[in-house]
Amino acid sequence: MSAPAMPATTRRTLHYFWLVTRSHFGLFAGLVVSTLAYVALLSYANPYLMSMVVDQVSANPVAADEVFAAFGPFALALVAVNVLGQAASKLQDYCMYRLQIAASYDLATMSFDALCNQSMSFHSNRFGGTLVSQTSKFMSAYQLILETLSFPFLPVLCSVVFTCAALIPRVPVYVAVLMVLLVVYACVSYYMYKRILGLNEKAASAQNQLSGELSDSVANILAVKTYGREDYERALFDEANRCVVERDNRRMRASLARGIVTACIAVVIMSAVTVFIIGGNAWYGITPGTLVLMFTYTYTVTNQFNFINNGLQKMNRAFGDASGMTQVLDEPRLVADLPGAPDLRVSNGEIDFRDIGFWYTDGSATTRVFEDFNLHIAPGERVGLVGMSGAGKTTLTKLLLRLSDIQEGSILVDGQDIARCTQQSLRRQIAYVPQESLLFHRTIAENIAYGRPNATPEEIREAARLANALEFIERLPEGFDTITGERGVKLSGGQRQRVSIARALLADCPVLVLDEATSALDSESEQLVQDALSTLMRGRTCIVVAHRLSTVASLDRIVVLDDGRIVEDGPHSELVAQGGEYANLWERQTGAYLE
């Protein structure tokens, strides 16, 4: 039965780790050379010199007054070997630490860039906590592999080379037998190691799922408590936890089986050296020093091979832990910039959706949202998007922001195809205020200045004033230096929304997108936010998504969507007078009688 092939994920993990290592190749080379040097000097040169001393003592007894003359050179050589060996050991420590620090930075950056540059569809289908866990494990896996390479794999290689070099001239038959046994040992270990790789990936996947369940429950702890669903969430967590235990047990049993098999081979190797040592002098005339050397070297190399079991277990765990982020890095980017794409330049804010075709794909199911969709928005025009849920309002704004890419047609801003421009330059021209405020666990000032980090304190304060946020900010004990908490939990909904509006005001973008920006607010907060939004919309091209029609009634134009199609388009008064879909929606919300 042939050994299973190395999983593709493991090969890709090695690819990414090598990319990082290659960029710090000097440190890596220093690590390899220093490791080989200290093993050669401390583990092999020392016993070799001692075997020469033993042979000289056995052959010619030395008088007391001749000790230093006869053995002085050996003593000096031993001191030199140990000094150089210890220096090599410290150099190895230095190279290891420096390489781990540098590589961790590169891997963290690589992971962060991959996550930030993925589409919203990617993030919508994954736990945020799982992605954080995968990033941490990816970095730790590299460090573990590096440590395992330094011990035991490089020492094992060094052991085999020096054992052969020292013993072949003296006992070639013994070396031949030893090498055959070590090859059998290595082949069995590698075969069983590759069989366990798949178990490690499954165990790591279960750990990531457990992290995701924990993150999901903690992030929504208010819903858990207010609905009394602690037992239900605990059951979900317990199910994921039991999966971790089951897969860890399978990995443990496979690792123990491998350890037992390789331990038996190690016993056979030591039995062989015992036979040679017992009869070596009588059968082959082997000198006492060589016998000591045979035992010391064989014991050392066998112990090093025993450590390989532990090393392979660490490698298994490292590749399993790294598999999650490796798959993320290999995930194709659904939204990507074209090579050499220019920045978007916006002066007027004219927007054109031309013959748009867009659909979602979830597995084998395809959901078409737009087909041959066309919409023109003039510079500085304020346009409301209304319609029933699922009509495509929010999707249209996400397509404008390139959070997803269209499959057909084009979207133009000031005559420039946004698919051919860089995503960052596009989004820096559009201020986006969603229904749920997007605040960081930072100060209020930092949150307001997020879209314009070089803003002065005076500019931040003025943006807060225009957003009707200054009054409540100044009442806080630390004012603008108040930490908002994760997702802004320390502030009320209306306060969070006004901070978001202040951010949009300070960014001063020519295009503004409001996605249900007032739907979750109480009446008083809504009035304050509405006043702030009126200030924000002045002189900008605005797209306003709303279910609450009072939000859009004063806009220049209202577009009514139904199943991805425009069914009505015009000012509020005209649409009400037409008695169509918009008029029906208006009547249901206001209870008004149409004249």
Separation in Å, CA 109 to CA 114, 138, 424, 533, 570: 8, 12, 18, 37, 48
Backbone angles phi, psi at 354, to 5 degrees: -120, 115
Q: How large is the average pLDDT for residues 47-76?
A: 83
Q: How confident is the model at residue 266 (pLDDT cuts 50, 70, 90)?
A: confident
Dist. CA 582–CA 586, nearest whole Å: 6
The pLDDT value given to residue 377: 97
Dist. CA 528–CA 502, nearest whole Å: 12
The pLDDT value given to residue 66: 79
Residue 272 lies in a domain: yes
The DSSP bridge pattern shows strands 511-515 and 541-545 to be: parallel
Give the CATH number, domain containing residue 192.
Answer: 1.20.1560.10
DSSP 391-447: SSHHHHHHHHTTSS--SEEEEEETTEEGGGS-HHHHHTTEEEE-SS----SSBHHHH
Neighbouring C-alpha atoms within 13 Å toward the C-beta of 454: 0
* pLDDT greater than 60 at residue 419: yes
Separation in Å, CA 332 to CA 114, 278, 327, 382: 10, 64, 10, 36
Average pLDDT taken over every residue of the chain: 87
Neighbouring C-alpha atoms within 13 Å toward the C-beta of 351: 24
CB-based contacts of 474, cutoff 8 Å, min separation 6: none
The pLDDT value given to residue 257: 83
Taking residue 241's Cβ as centre, other Cβ atoms within 10 Å add up to 17
Domain range for residue 190? 8-330
* Range from 75-79, 413-417, 535-539 carrying the lowest mean pLDDT: 535-539
The three-class DSSP label of residue 225 is helix
DSSP state of 468: T
The pLDDT value given to residue 241: 92
The pLDDT value given to residue 4: 47
* pLDDT greater than 50 at residue 592: no
Please tell me which residue, 481 or 549, carries the higher pLDDT value: 481
The pLDDT value given to residue 144: 94
Residue 449 lies in a domain: no
Q: What is the CA radius of gyration of the chain?
A: 35
Q: How large is the average pLDDT for residues 78-84?
A: 94
- pLDDT, tens digit, 9 for 90 and up, residues 527-540: 777 777 788 888 89
The pLDDT value given to residue 525: 63
Q: Would you say 46 and 18 are in contact if contact means Cβ atoms under 8 Å apart?
A: no
Tokens of 70: 């006869």
Q: Which residues pair with 377 in a beta bridge?
A: 351
Q: Would you say 96 and 146 are in contact if contact means Cβ atoms under 8 Å apart?
A: yes
Residue 197 lies in a domain: yes
Residue 71 lies in a domain: yes
Alpha carbon 376 to its chain's center: 40
Dist. CA 542–CA 585, nearest whole Å: 22
Q: Please identify which residue in the block is written with the tokens 């490690």.
A: 200
The pLDDT value given to residue 594: 42
Q: Which residues pair with 357 in a beta bridge?
A: 408
Dist. CA 140–CA 564, nearest whole Å: 47
- pLDDT, tens digit, 9 for 90 and up, residues 545-576: 988 888 889 899 999 999 999 999 999 999 99
The three-class DSSP label of residue 323 is helix
Q: How large is the average pLDDT for residues 90-106?
A: 95
The pLDDT value given to residue 520: 53
Dist. CA 111–CA 116, nearest whole Å: 9
* pLDDT greater than 90 at residue 420: yes
- pLDDT, tens digit, 9 for 90 and up, residues 145-174: 999 999 888 998 888 888 898 889 988 988
- Max CA-CA distance within the chain? 129
- pLDDT, tens digit, 9 for 90 and up, residues 303-337: 887 787 778 778 878 888 898 899 999 988 888 89
Residue 573 lies in a domain: no
* pLDDT greater than 90 at residue 593: no
Dist. CA 483–CA 459, nearest whole Å: 19
Q: How large is the average pLDDT for residues 264-269?
A: 82
Query: Could you give the number of structural domains in the chain?
Result: 1
Residue 54 lies in a domain: yes
Q: How confident is the model at residue 445 (pLDDT cuts 50, 70, 90)?
A: very high
* pLDDT greater than 90 at residue 423: yes
- pLDDT, tens digit, 9 for 90 and up, residues 208-248: 788 778 877 877 786 787 668 888 888 989 999 999 999 98
Separation in Å, CA 555 to CA 441, 505, 524: 34, 19, 21
How many helices and strands (H and E) does the chain possess?
A: 20, 10
Dist. CA 40–CA 523, nearest whole Å: 79
Residue 395 lies in a domain: no
Tokens of 59: 């052959």
The pLDDT value given to residue 363: 65
The pLDDT value given to residue 24: 96
Residue 297 lies in a domain: yes
